Amino acid sequence: MMKIDITKEAQEWFNTELGLTEGSGIRFSGKVYGKTEVHEGFSVGMAVAQPGDNVMASTSIDGVTYYVNESDDWFFNGYDLEVDYDAKRDEPVYHFIEQ
């Protein structure tokens, strides 16, 4: 089963930049264009959204749910997701950890 890990620094960035409060949700997804450590032509998308019934993996920190839907299994299959923070670029950075 996929795991999602959010570092403290990344959590602080999401809360500050997106104004998250208890009960908020962040959905991670695969999107066309870009590059990840394991994908060419695709990158990680992120949106403020509430989880529905089709959640593949999730973690909750301080009342905020970070999750991936089953429809993005094609992108995350076989990997855990670690979300960290890049201070130089002032943005989240995504690491794919092979399961």
pLDDT tens digit string along 62-73? Answer: 999 999 999 999
| Beta carbons of 51 and 65 less than 8 angstroms apart | yes
pLDDT tens digit string along 80-93? Answer: 999 999 999 999 99
Closest by CA to 43, choosing from 97, 93, 98, is 93
Average pLDDT over residues 37-44: 76
**What pLDDT does residue 33 have?**
72
**What pLDDT does residue 31 have?**
83
Mean pLDDT of the chain: 92
**What pLDDT does residue 42 have?**
76
CATH fold, domain 4-98, is Hypothetical Protein Aq_1857; Chain: A; (2.60.300)
pLDDT tens digit string along 11-24? Answer: 999 999 999 989 99
Domain boundaries, the chain: 4-98
Average pLDDT over residues 33-47: 78
Burial category of 56 from C-beta neighbours within 10 Å (exposed 0-12, middle 13-18, buried 19 and up): middle
